[in-house]
Amino acid sequence: MAEETKKEERSLNFLEEIIEEDLKNGKYKSIVTRFPPEPNGYLHMGHATSICLNFGLAQKYGGYTNLRFDDTNPVTEETEYVESIKEDIKWLGFQWENEHYASDYFDELYQFAVSLIKKGLAYVDDLTAEEIAEMKGTPTEPGKDSPYRNRKVEENLDLFERMKKGDFPDGTHTLRAKIDMAHTNMLMRDPLLYRIKHASHHQTGDKWCIYPMYDFAHGQSDSIENVTHSICTMEFVPHRELYDWLIEKLEIYPSHQYEFARRNLSYTVMSKRKLLQLVNEKYVDGWDDPRMPTISGMRRRGYTPESIRDFCDRVGIAKRENLTDLGLLEFCVREHLNKVALRRMVVFDPLKVVLTNYNEQPGETEMLTSENNPEEETATHRDIPFGKELYIEREDFMENPPKKFFRLAPGKMVRLKSAYIIRCDEVIKDANGHITELHCSYIPESQSGNDTSGISVKGTLHWVSLKHAITAELRLYDRLFKVEDPSKEEGDFKEYINPGSLQTIKAVYAEPALKNAKFDERYQFLRKGYFTLDKDSSTSGMIFNRTVTLKDSWKAGDSKAN
Instruction: Mark the segment that binds RNA (CB under 7 A) among 25-33, 93-101, 294-302, 330-338.
Output: 330-338
389 binds RNA (CB under 7 A): no
Taking CB under 7 A as the criterion, the residue among 60, 62, 76, 349 binding RNA is 76
- Give 316 or 444: the residue with its C-beta nearer to RNA: 316
Taking CB under 7 A as the criterion, the residue among 111, 133, 158, 349 binding RNA is 133
Using CA atoms, how far residue 86 sits from 40, 43, 51, 99, in Å, is 13, 10, 11, 10
262 is catalytic: yes
Mark 351-380 with x for binding to RNA (rule: CB under 7 A) and - for no binding. ----------------------xxx-----
- Give 27 or 319: the residue with its C-beta nearer to RNA: 319
Name the nearest CA neighbour of 244 among 252, 136, 29: 252
Of the residues 38, 87, 97, 366, which is catalytic? 38
118 binds RNA (CB under 7 A): no
The two beta strands, 192-196 and 210-212, are antiparallel
Q: Are 113 and 193 in contact (CB under 8 A)?
A: yes
Strand extents, DSSP E, 63-191: 64-69, 99-101, 122-125, 174-177
In the 8-state DSSP scheme, what is residue 512? G
Name the nearest CA neighbour of 231 among 60, 94, 34, 85: 34
Alpha-carbon dihedral sign for residues 290, 294, 298, 300 = negative
Q: Enumerate residues 508-527 that contact RNA by CB under 7 A.
A: 524, 526-527
Q: Enumerate residues 6-65 that contact RNA by CB under 7 A.
A: 11-14, 17, 36, 38
Burial class (CB in 10 A: 0-12, 13-18, 19+), 506: exposed
Name the nearest CA neighbour of 214 among 70, 69, 40, 51: 70
Mark 395-414 with x for binding to RNA (rule: CB under 7 A) and - for no binding. ---------xxxx-------
254 binds RNA (CB under 7 A): no
In the 8-state DSSP scheme, what is residue 234? G
Name the nearest CA neighbour of 418 among 439, 390, 397: 390
The dihedral region occupied by 166, where left means phi > 0, alpha psi between -120 and 50, and beta the remainder, is left
CB of 133 to RNA, least distance (A): 4
In the 8-state DSSP scheme, what is residue 550? P
Identity at 134, one-letter amino acid code: E
Q: 89-107 in b/e burial notation, b at 16+ Cβ within 10 A? A: bebbebebbeebbbbbbbe
Q: Enumerate residues 446-485 that contact RNA by CB under 7 A.
A: 446-449, 451, 456, 459-460, 462
Number of residues that bind RNA (CB under 7 A): 93
77 is catalytic: no
Taking CB under 7 A as the criterion, the residue among 117, 187, 279, 284 binding RNA is 187
38 is catalytic: yes
Taking CB under 7 A as the criterion, the residue among 100, 229, 343, 412 binding RNA is 343
CB of 538 to RNA, least distance (A): 28
162 binds RNA (CB under 7 A): no
167 binds RNA (CB under 7 A): no
Q: Enumerate residues 140-159 that contact RNA by CB under 7 A.
A: 140
Of the residues 34, 164, 240, 262, which is catalytic? 262
Q: Enumerate residues 412-441 that contact RNA by CB under 7 A.
A: 415, 417-419
Of the residues 136, 272, 352, 494, which is catalytic? 272
Taking CB under 7 A as the criterion, the residue among 65, 66, 72, 84 binding RNA is 72
Q: What are the catalytic residues?
A: 38, 262, 272
